[in-house]
Amino acid sequence: MPDPLSQQPPSSAGYAQYVQKYSGSIYALSRLLLGLETEAEEAAVKTFAALYEPYLQKRLDPLAFSLDAYRECIQQCSRLTQARKPCSANTLTWESRLILALRYGLQLPLPEISAILQRSVPDLKAQLRQVREQMAGQESLLPKSGLTAG
């Protein structure tokens, strides 16, 4: 006899548990990528709103919810970033900023970043190395401060 509970759609209370569990890290990622608190909050809200329908239709794997949430958050942040006027102050590419935010901002391990971005770990390591070298090169171009201790 089939289980009658398996025929019922997942409850919104179950979804609320996912939101509670992942809202902090999703907000943190959106804040790292967007910088502005209001935009970060908007991206986080849109992330969970976009995942709600697939959740109800059981199209989301509960074990991979965090991956889906990070991917959706990245898409929401990308849309908001594209809607902005270009800013020349940030010389890093979107992809570089994204990897830095996941690795150093959220402190995710490379295998998890690899799963989120669907890129190989060696490729991520190479890009991180390249970004660090780029940032070090930019730092050497900054004027040295004339301040001295003491």
Write the pLDDT tens digit of every residue in 9-29: 557 778 999 999 999 999 999
- Kind and range of the H or E element at 65? helix 65-83
Burial of residue 34, with CB atoms counted within 10 A of its CB: 0-12 exposed, 13-18 middle, 19 or more buried:
buried
Interval 51-59 mean pLDDT: 91
pLDDT, residue 100, reads: 95
Let me know: does 55 contact 69? Beta carbons within 8 Å.
no
Degrees, nearest 5: CA angle 60-74-86: 155
Q: At what angle do helices 110-117 and 65-83 cross, to 10 degrees?
A: 70
- pLDDT bracket for residue 138 (50, 70, 90): confident
Q: Is the pLDDT of residue 149 over 60?
A: no
Q: Are residues 76 and 103 in the same domain?
A: no
Total-model pTM: 0.80
pLDDT, residue 84, reads: 80
Q: Is residue 1 part of a domain?
A: no
Q: Is residue 148 part of a domain?
A: no
The tokens 């502005």 sit on which residue? 36
pLDDT, residue 73, reads: 98
Q: Is residue 96 part of a domain?
A: yes
Per-residue tokens: 30: 């959106």
User: pLDDT per residue over 102-137, tens digit each?
Assistant: 999 999 999 999 999 999 999 999 999 999 998 888
Q: Are residues 23 and 79 in the same domain?
A: yes
Higher pLDDT, 143 or 4: 143
Q: Are residues 22 and 42 in the same domain?
A: yes
